Amino acid sequence: MPELPEVETIRRSLAPRLAGVGVSRARLLRRDIAVAPGDPAGGFSRQRPAKDGSRALTAPARIRRADLLEGDRVAALDRRGKRLLIRGESGRALGVHLGMTGQLLLLPPRQRLPGHTHAVWWLEAPSPKGAAGKAPGRPSATSNGAATRHPAAVGVSPGPRLAFRDPRRFGRLWLFPDHAAADAWLDQLGPDALTVTARQLARALAAARRPIKAALLDQTLLAGVGNIYADEALHLARVRPERVAAGLRTSEVADLARAIRAVLREAVRRRGSTLRDYRDPDGQQGASQHTHKVYGRAGAPCHTCSRPLILTRVAQRATVLCPVCQN
């Protein structure tokens, strides 16, 4: 599953290429991966009827192309934890969560869409060098009456496309009518792990009577850490993952906060970890997996003490640690 370093790599790759760019067309190919205003939390496809029949299934709300930012212009790309937010200049916004196998790919105009593509955005072609404002084109009406441009109609090369693909369909797109609703979605999460301070981490863990590994995976306490980087940060901080989170000493929390930041920053520098599905917007793999100290290395020697790393389970998640360094 893409964690903070992978999502931040995607944000850094897309932000300079999308900021200020118009969305000439948008198309949703699978309604069940989108969460629109009026849908149940998590999307209509995840709802379950009450066994006693007291709660009926909610029908999916209608989605307009404007809800997908068609006819809009990208203002900014923000991120908290594993959530990415594409803000439109109109005030609308699009939230993206990649789930387990989700990808955001920036494709050349005529490249065939990859399999399991569930949403596509056609972007304005880059303006000719020296031109100001929007790329030239013939405006046409969208489904909501907004004007959009189709550069190809007047002989200008079409722009790239942004594609959301997700073979396992655990990822979601959230459609927000305004930035306030989008900000509230981000505010459901704890502090961002890339910049978390010792004080913020101590506050998040103060009442956590769970193992520290489980607490780090709780996105409402700390946003962005998943199984990979929890193991790596706990190893760097020399903290055993089964220890009760609230029982860590002040100095240990400070060490852990530093370790989390260091592990995530290095992973971002290496453009994330590709273990199976993760790719950046250009389809390239990350390289951080080659520097993992413990994750995926059960039975191999610890890089610090040379003792074999052990595999256990904490919070029902496979966990690798050093029995000596994390004692």
Closest CA to 137 of 158, 108, 107: 158
The residues, any chain, with a CB within 8 Å of residue 132's CB and separated by 6 or more, are none
The residues, any chain, with a CB within 8 Å of residue 41's CB and separated by 6 or more, are 35
| % helix, strand, coil for the chain, step of 5 | 25, 25, 50
* H or E segment to which residue 319 belongs: strand 317-321
Q: What is the DSSP string of 143-168?
A: TTS-EEEEGGGGTPPP--EEEEE-TT
- The single residue of 65, 80, 82, 213 carrying the catalytic annotation is 82
Q: Count of H helices and E strands in the chain?
A: 6, 13
169 among known catalytic residues: no
3 among known catalytic residues: yes
Q: What is the DSSP string of 221-248?
A: TSBS--HHHHHHHHHHHT--TTSBGGG-
SS3 269: helix
2 among known catalytic residues: yes
The residues, any chain, with a CB within 8 Å of residue 297's CB and separated by 6 or more, are 309, 320
- The single residue of 238, 297, 317, 323 carrying the catalytic annotation is 317
Residues linked to residue 121 through DSSP beta bridges, in sequence order:
26, 162
Q: What is the DSSP string of 77-141?
A: EEEETTEEEEEETTS-EEEEE-TTT-EEEEE-TTSPPPTTEEEEEEEPPPPPTT--SSPP-EEEE
89 among known catalytic residues: no
* H or E segment to which residue 175 belongs: strand 172-176
- What are the tokens at 282? 């250009």
Distance of alpha carbon 115 from alpha carbon 96, whole angstroms: 19
The one-letter code for the residue type at 125 is A
Active-site positions read: 2-3, 82, 317
